[in-house]
C-alpha cells in the first residue's frame, strides 16, 4: 500500500467509523487510482478522490407506518446523494434488515464509478431502509413503501435523483413507490426506474443486470477465444440478478448447478434447466418461498444450510469453470476464493455489488483469472435504467431487440474500457484497475471543469 493510500485510509476510517464496507470499497479504488496519481498529480492537487469520498448529501429519515393489525412500526430511511458531476444521482433502493449507513455509502460510492463506465449521463446515489420485506403481506409492503415515499419524494425527481430497485426492492415495491410519488407530486415522470411496462418501464430492465453479468463473462472469455458453451457455472442468490443470470447462461449453452438464498443453497448436479428456472421464478417472485423447496420438487438435488458464522461457504466448493456471485456483499472471502481456484474456476463475473472481500480479490488477481468486478460486470442494470430514463424523456418505448442490442453494446464498451485502462496504466488484464480508473477519469474531469462545488 502506498503512503498516499495509507494516509487517505487512516482519515477515511477516522471520519467514518463503524463503516467497514465503505472503507473496503474506498481502499480498493484508492489502490487502483494511485497508478493514475503517479502520472497525473493534478487530480491529487484538486483532491478529487477526497471529494468523491464525501457524499454530496446524505438524507436520513424516520419511516413510521401502521401494519394491517394496527401496530405501529418505525424504520429508518436513507438516501445517499453521492456525486452528480456527470448527471442526476442514480442508484437503487435496498430494503433489508442489514442496511446501515455504511452499507449504503459503499454502494453509492461504487455506483459513481459504475454509472460513469456505462457512458450514460448518470451520477451516483443509493438508498434504502432497514425494513425487512421477507414474509410480509402485499398490504404491509404497500404501507411501508408509501410511508417511505412520504419523505423521499422531497429529495428526488427526474432531473435530480432517480432511484431504482436493489435487494428487497423489485417490481412490486417500485410500483407502490411510484404510485405514492405520483400522488404527492401530481405528476407522471420517470422518477424511478424498473417501472412496469404499462406505466413507463423499459423492456429488458428486469433482465438487465443478470444478462449483463453474463455478457461481461462472455467478453472476458472472448479474450481467450473461448465461449460459455459447455461451461459449468456456480450462481449464488435466487433473486432478480441470479434468475436472469441463469436464463442467459442457459441460452448461451452453459450449465448452472447452484443457487442460494440467505438460509442455504441447492446443488443440482444435472443442471438447472428452463423448466426448473421457471419453478424458481414462481417460487421466489410469486410464492416468495425459500430455495430449500427446490429439493422438495427435484429430489436428486441437494440442499445445504449456510452457516453465516462459518469461515467459508460450501457453495463455492464445487467443480466448475465460472462463478457468478449474485446475492450480496462479501459472500466470497479469501478461503472461498482459494476453493474456487482449486475447483477449476477461472471466470468470476460479479452480479452482486462487492461480493468478494479484498483478500479474495487479491487471490483472483494474483492467479490472473478472468475476474470481472461488480462495477463493470453488473453495470447492465443501471445501463438499462439509463435507457429507461431516455425512453421516458422521449415518451417513446423501444423494442426488446433495440434495448438488448444497446445493453450488449454498452457491456462491450465497458469491457473495452477496462482492458484499455488496465493496459494504459501498466496492469494488463486487471479488470479491477481498469474499471476503477475508467470510471474515475470521466467523473474527475467533469469535477475539475465544474470547479470546487
Number of C-beta neighbours around residue 78 at 10 A: 24
List the catalytic residue out of 126, 140, 195, 248: 126
Longest dimension (CA), the chain: 62
Minimum separation from the CB atom of position 350 to ligand NDP (A):
9
DSSP per-residue letters across 117-135: HTTSS--EEEEEES---TT
**Distant-in-sequence, close-in-space partners of 379: CB < 8 Å, separation ≥ 6:** 114, 115, 117, 118, 212, 410, 411, 414
Half-sphere CA count of 49, side-chain side, radius 13 A? 29
User: How far apart are the C-alpha atoms of 250 and 141, rounded to whole Å?
Assistant: 33
| Of residues 27 and 166, the one with the C-beta less far from ligand NDP | 166
Minimum separation from the CB atom of position 392 to ligand NDP (A):
17
Minimum separation from the CB atom of position 1 to ligand NDP (A):
26
Which pairs with CB-CB distance under 8 Å and at least 24 residues apart come from 196-202? 196/171, 200/388, 200/391, 200/392, 201/388, 202/384, 202/385, 202/387, 202/388, 202/391, 202/397, 202/398, 202/403
| Of residues 75 and 378, the one with the C-beta less far from ligand NDP | 378
| Of residues 12 and 259, the one with the C-beta less far from ligand NDP | 259
Are the CB atoms for 400 and 204 separated by under 8 Å?
Answer: yes
Minimum separation from the CB atom of position 339 to ligand NDP (A):
17
User: How far apart are the C-alpha atoms of 316 and 335, rounded to whole Å?
Assistant: 9
Are the CB atoms for 360 and 336 separated by under 8 Å?
Answer: yes
| Of residues 264 and 429, the one with the C-beta less far from ligand NDP | 264
**Distant-in-sequence, close-in-space partners of 124: CB < 8 Å, separation ≥ 6:** 82, 83, 89, 90, 91, 108, 109, 110, 111, 112, 113, 114, 115
Minimum separation from the CB atom of position 387 to ligand NDP (A):
13
Answer left, alpha or beta for residue 329, where phi above 0 means left and psi between -120 and 50 means alpha. Answer: beta
| Of residues 84 and 118, the one with the C-beta less far from ligand NDP | 118
Burial category of 368 from C-beta neighbours within 10 Å (exposed 0-12, middle 13-18, buried 19 and up): exposed
Are the CB atoms for 386 and 411 separated by under 8 Å?
Answer: no
Q: Where do runs of H (alpha helix) occur along 229-357?
A: 240-251, 274-281, 293-297, 334-342
Instruction: Give the total residue count for the chain.
Output: 453
Minimum separation from the CB atom of position 170 to ligand NDP (A):
6
Minimum separation from the CB atom of position 236 to ligand NDP (A):
7
| Of residues 381 and 438, the one with the C-beta less far from ligand NDP | 381
User: How far apart are the C-alpha atoms of 214 and 378, rounded to whole Å?
Assistant: 9
| Of residues 110 and 444, the one with the C-beta less far from ligand NDP | 110
Residue nearest to ligand NDP (CB): 239
**Distant-in-sequence, close-in-space partners of 104: CB < 8 Å, separation ≥ 6:** 78, 80, 94, 126, 127, 128
Catalytic site residue 90?
Answer: no
Beta-bridged to residue 305, according to DSSP, are: 264
Site residues for ligand NDP per CB under 6 A: 98, 165-168, 170, 209, 237-242, 261-263, 326-328, 351-353, 378, 381
Minimum separation from the CB atom of position 7 to ligand NDP (A):
30
| Of residues 240 and 357, the one with the C-beta less far from ligand NDP | 240
Give catalytic residue positions.
126
Amino acid at each position: 500500500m502506498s503512503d498516499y493510500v495509507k494516509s487517505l485510509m487512516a482519515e477515511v476510517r477516522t471520519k467514518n467509523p463503524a463503516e467497514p464496507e465503505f472503507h473496503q470499497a474506498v481502499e480498493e479504488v484508492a489502490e487502483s487510482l494511485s497508478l493514475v496519481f503517479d502520472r497525473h498529480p493534478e487530480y491529487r492537487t484538486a483532491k478529487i478522490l477526497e471529494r468523491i469520498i464525501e457524499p454530496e448529501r446524505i438524507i436520513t429519515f424516520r419511516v413510521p407506518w401502521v401494519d394491517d393489525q394496527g401496530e405501529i412500526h418505525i424504520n429508518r430511511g436513507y438516501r445517499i446523494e453521492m456525486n452528480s458531476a456527470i448527471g442526476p444521482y442514480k442508484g437503487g433502493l435496498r430494503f433489508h434488515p442489514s442496511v446501515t449507513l455504511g452499507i449504503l455509502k459503499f454502494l453509492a460510492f461504487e455506483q459513481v464509478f459504475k454509472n460513469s463506465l456505462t457512458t450514460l449521463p448518470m451520477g451516483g446515489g443509493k438508498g434504502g431502509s432497514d425494513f425487512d420485506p421477507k414474509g410480509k403481506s402485499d398490504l404491509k409492503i404497500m404501507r411501508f413503501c408509501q410511508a417511505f415515499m412520504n419523505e423521499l419524494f422531497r429529495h428526488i425527481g427526474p432531473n435530480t435523483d432517480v432511484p431504482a430497485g436493489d435487494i428487497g426492492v423489485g417490481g412490486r415495491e417500485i410500483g407502490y413507490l411510484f404510485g405514492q410519488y405520483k400522488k404527492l407530486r401530481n405528476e407522471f415522470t420517470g422518477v424511478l426506474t424498473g417501472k412496469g411496462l404499462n406505466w413507463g418501464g423499459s423492456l429488458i430492465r428486469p433482465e438487465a443486470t443478470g444478462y449483463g453479468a453474463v455478457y461481461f463473462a462472455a467478453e472476458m472469455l472472448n479474450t481467450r477465444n473461448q465461449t460459455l458453451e459447455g461451461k459449468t457455472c456456480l450462481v449464488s442468490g435466487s433473486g432478480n440478478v441470479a434468475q436472469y443470470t441463469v436464463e442467459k447462461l442457459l441460452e448461451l449453452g452453459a450449465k448452472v448447478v447452484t443457487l442460494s438464498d440467505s438460509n442455504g443453497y441447492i446443488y443440482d448436479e444435472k443442471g438447472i434447466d428452463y423448466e426448473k428456472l421457471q419453478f424458481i421464478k414462481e417460487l421466489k417472485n410469486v410464492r416468495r418461498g425459500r430455495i430449500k423447496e427446490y429439493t422438495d420438487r427435484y429430489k436428486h438435488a441437494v440442499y445445504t444450510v449456510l452457516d453465516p458464522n462459518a469461515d467459508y461457504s460450501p457453495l463455492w466448493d464445487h467443480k466448475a469453470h465460472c462463478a457468478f456471485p449474485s446475492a450480496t456483499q462479501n459472500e466470497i472471502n479469501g478461503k472461498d476464493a482459494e476453493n474456487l481456484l482449486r475447483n477449476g474456476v477461472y471466470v468470476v463475473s460479479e452480479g452482486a455489488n462487492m461480493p468478494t472481500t479484498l483478500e479474495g480479490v487479491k487471490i483472483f488477481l494474483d492467479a490472473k483469472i478472468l475476474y470481472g468486478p461488480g462495477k463493470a460486470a453488473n453495470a447492465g442494470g443501471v445501463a438499462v435504467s439509463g435507457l429507461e430514463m431516455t425512453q421516458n424523456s422521449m415518451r417513446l418505448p423501444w423494442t426488446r431487440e433495440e434495448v438488448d442490442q444497446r445493453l450488449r453494446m454498452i457491456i462491450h464498451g465497458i469491457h473495452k474500457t477496462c482492458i484499455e485502462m488496465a493496459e494504459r496504466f501498466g496492469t494488463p488484464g486487471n479488470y479491477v484497475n481498469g474499471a476503477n480508473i475508467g470510471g474515475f477519469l470521466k467523473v474527475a474531469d467533469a469535477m475539475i471543469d465544474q470547479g470546487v462545488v
